A and B are shown apart, each in its own frame.
Chain A
Amino acid sequence: MSYQRRSKDALAARVAQDIFDGAVVNLGIGQPTRVANHLPPGREIILHSENGILGMGPAPAEGQEDYDLINAGKQPVTLLAGGAYFHHADSFAMMRGGHIDICVLGAFQVSATGDLANWSTGEEGAIPAVGGAMDLATGAKQTWVMMDLLTKQGSSKLVDRCTYPLTGLACVKRIYTDLATFECSPQGLVLVDMVEGLEREALQAMVGLPLR
């Protein structure tokens, strides 16, 4: 039987489907930002931006950009009714203090027990940058990852132990990928769902780790 990978938008929609009404959510830069476009109607979800915004709204209409109102990726955004601004120490207190319900981050590697590597590949000559990734991964009540399951070379980004520099230890709860959704646990990976037509054995072979 054949199967289709989730497109970037389908993956974002899959993540969005699990965000509950009333949740305060931080979407990491890059792919996770796309989740904002797929939040299910009828749910009131508050988006947090590390640079001091709660109640972040969508991108402004062309010509309405205000670069004093940007997201973590430094793209112009808007503020929803009820939104608030605050300084950086408060913004990161919201993470570290466990006030953010969910953060969604990209990843290079995730271990079966939820270790995350997403800030550096340790490449020679690369300019390192960590931003708020470690604060979010460690501080949010739930850290979710969204990524392709396989690297461009075809190896699994789900690993027994991360080989890239770590962002946080045992911090990832869920992993949403283009092929399947997983939960991390102290006992290893739990399979939550798969794309239609994908056989468990085939997925198992790709991941190369025990799936419960």
Chain B
Amino acid sequence: MIDKIAQTTADAIGPVADGATVLLGGFGTAGMPDELLAALIGIGPRELTIVSNNAGNGDTGIAALLKAGLVRKIICSFPRSADSYVFDELYRAGKIELELVPQGNLAERIRAAGAGIGAFFCPTGFGTELAGERETRVIDSRPYVLEYPIHGDLALIKAERGDRWGNLTYRKAARNFGPVMAMAAKRTVASVHEIAGLGTLDPEAIVTPGIFVSRIVKIARTATQAGGFREAA
């Protein structure tokens, strides 16, 4: 029998090696798997590389992970927020490495990892400092930059409903990076607000098929709280 349902968040995640790359779903606070992050802090792996859109808000979620001193490097598109003070301080003190990636490249590099793509030519960022020294090519008179996949050892994502095969549905824009991250890690753990009986999720509405999911764990339903944002331009 296949039963991916774990009873606790710590059991769902299992052991995590030092130096692991962890993909974390969420955009701001929407879809941020706070409960799984709390369990990860409890497990306590060090020297982690974190891949997520943002670098934490306030003192919770990714910020708590950073504060616990478990992260060596973060790969993200938008670390700056009104309340990203934990990251800001570490970054300014040179205590954390940052790889800044355009948001769509972040999503597609993760997707590529999940889809078995070795690398891909992408127009985004051509001619900018974020293209770095990577190979470029003109295809049909349009310039592209070679982008490499981002594989995870572990993905932690937040979904809405799940069944014992690991099939998942999401809630509104909390879906964001969840489906692509689920594909791209050796082990994917999803928190859900509701465990559905096998066969009760509408097969037409399943967003992440269970093949991409290792464990699900039920968490209490608490409303997502506001993220922070400071106007740039």
Contacts and interface: CB of A to CB of B under 8 A. Distances in A.
Interface of A: 28-31, 49-53, 65-70, 73-76, 79, 85-89, 91-93, 95-96, 105-108, 118-119, 125, 127-135, 138-139, 147, 165-169
A58 to B, nearest CB: 15
Given A70-B173, A134-B102, 17 more contacts: A29-B229, A29-B231, A51-B176, A68-B31, A70-B30, A70-B227, A85-B172, A87-B207, A89-B107, A92-B108, A105-B233, A119-B232, A127-B80, A128-B98, A130-B77, A130-B101, A139-B123
A105 B233 CA distance: 9
Contacts of A75: 229
Interface in B97-114: 98, 100-108, 110-111
B217 interface: no
Nearest to B87: A127
A129 B177 CA distance: 18
9 contacts: A66-B224, A70-B27, A86-B175, A87-B175, A92-B107, A92-B108, A96-B124, A127-B87, A139-B104
Contacts of B133: none
Contacts of A135: 102-105, 124
B173 A51 contact: yes
A130 B123 contact: no
Nearest to B108: A89
Interface in B76-90: 77-81, 84, 87-88
A130 B102 contact: yes
Nearest to B207: A87
Nearest to A49: B173
**Interface on chain B toward A: helix, strand, loop, or mixed SS?**
loop
Contacts of A125: 92
Contacts, number: 172
A163 B129 CA distance: 13
A87 B223 CA distance: 20
A127 B126 contact: no
B174 interface: yes
Q: Sort A-B residue pairs by CB-CB distance and give the 7 closest, nearest first.
A: A92-B104, A106-B233, A135-B104, A67-B224, A88-B107, A74-B227, A129-B80
Contacts of B180: 87-89
A70 B28 contact: yes
B39 interface: no
B128 A74 contact: no
A85 B78 contact: no
B15 interface: no
B128 A89 contact: no
Contacts of A118: 233
Contact of A87 (B53, B77, B102, B176): B176
Contact of A74 (B28, B129, B179): B28
Contacts of B124: 96, 134-135, 138-139
A60 to B, nearest CB: 12
A189 B78 CA distance: 32
Among B123, B207, B225, B232, residue most surrounded by chain A Cβ atoms (within 10 Å): B232
B103 A132 contact: yes
A116 to B, nearest CB: 10
A61 B156 CA distance: 33
A129 B78 contact: yes
B110 to A, nearest CB: 8
Contact of A165 (B88, B106, B128, B223): B128
B95 to A, nearest CB: 14
Given A68-B31, A166-B128, A91 B229 contact: no
A204 B100 CA distance: 38
Contact of A147 (B88, B224, B233): B233
